[in-house]
Structure 1
Amino acid sequence: MPFRKVAVAIITPRHTKTSFDLGLEMAKKFDSELTVIECMYKTPPKFYFFETKSDKKTTQNQTAKLKAELETWKNLAQKQGVPIKTKLALTDNISHWVIDYVKDNKIDLLIVDYPKLSMEEITLFDDIINVIHHKSHCHLLTTKSL
């Protein structure tokens, strides 16, 4: 069996359902376990040494939105009879977090979503995806919005 563990890493704030759908189909086809990871940068505090109430509220709102989305992914997979795990990654370094997760959990296939982005976003997310491509030791599939 080529892919026992399939993971979908959602690393951009604007993404499509394409990578999840593909991950779900691959997990069904190969009778694999599916993991969906929502990645988000920790928002640096406005003041260097401590978080304000506003900082905490912003993080809570972002986290709540991603958790709700993870529940949606989980429900869709369960309806298809696919075993699924979900993970929320709140991190300072998305690429290293994803690479470590793939290695630690022995992921066989990683699917990364790459939607159309603004010029500023392209600079940031190109770097993240390039690091993941070069340093993750598993099969990697990037879905693009054309």
Structure 2
Amino acid sequence: MKSNYYCNMTQFMTDFKHVLVPFDGSENGIDSIEAASKIAGNLGGKITILKCVEKKMPKFLFFKTKQDKLDAAIEVNAAENEASKFRKIAKKYGVNVTTEIKKIDDDPHQHIIDYVNRNDVDLVVMSPSKDINTTEIHESIVDKISKNINCSLLRLQ
């Protein structure tokens, strides 16, 4: 796995006690969870996996139908099922893991930035999707995040 590091390597060896993995649902996102678990496990740290679920616009503008509510519940339930897989991965490395599922109205990068800056995160670990069409979008999100957080970022490739 090739990696681009946006971090001070001396810090890499000692200070990463709280690692954040923003999870987008991709296979590469699972690689990020695995890498974050290894890092936190070696350093006695913890990881938080942040899944942003975008709220969908109701079919009838301001009125949510039963189907709208059901669709939203299904999406959150799927994210919660993914969270149990994440805990199993982290457990292999003896790492404490927290999963947070946030329902959002706008761009996920701002929620990631806000989470990092409010929660004493030391390292953010991200991977681009394997879908070539989203690589450019991912680069933009990584750039926005890296310029606006007060910690290191590890981008796996």
TM-score tier, shorter chain, comes to 0.7 to 0.9
**TM-score, normalised on structure 1?**
0.86
Q: What is the distance in 1 between the residues matched to 2:126 and 2:53?
A: 14
Is 1:40 equivalent to 2:53 in the alignment? yes
When the two chains are superposed, the root-mean-square deviation of aligned CA atoms in Å is 1.8
What CA distance in whole angstroms lies between the structure 1 residues aligned with 2:144 and 2:76?
Answer: 25
Structure 1 residue corresponding to 2:146, chosen from 101, 120, 133:
133
CA contact (8 A) 1:9 1:113 kept: no
Does residue 8 of structure 1 match 2:21?
yes
Structure 2 unmatched runs, 5+: 1-13
Which residue identity is paired with 2:150?
A: H
Equivalent residues in 2 for 1:1-146, closer than 5 Å: 1-10=14-23, 12-16=24-28, 17-92=30-105, 93-117=107-131, 119=133, 121-122=134-135, 124-144=137-157
State how far apart, in whole Å, the 2-side matches of 1:29 and 1:139 are: 17
Amino acid at match of 1:14: S
Cα deviation for residue 126 of structure 1 reads 4.0
Q: Which runs of 5+ in 1 are unaligned?
A: none
Distance 1:118 1:62, change over 3 A: farther
Q: Deviations over 1:94-121 (max 9, x none)?
A: 11111111111110000112112253x4
Assess if the C-alpha contact under 8 Å between 1:19 and 1:111 holds in 2.
yes
Judging changes above 3 Å, is the alpha-carbon distance between structure 1 residues 125 and 49 closer, same or farther for their aligned structure 2 residues? farther
2-structure distance, mates of 1:52, 1:124? 32
Shift of residue 79, structure 1, vs aligned partner: 4.0
| Contact preservation (8 Å) 2:48, 2:97 | yes
> Moved runs in structure 1, 4+ residues, more than 6 A?
none
Identity %: 26
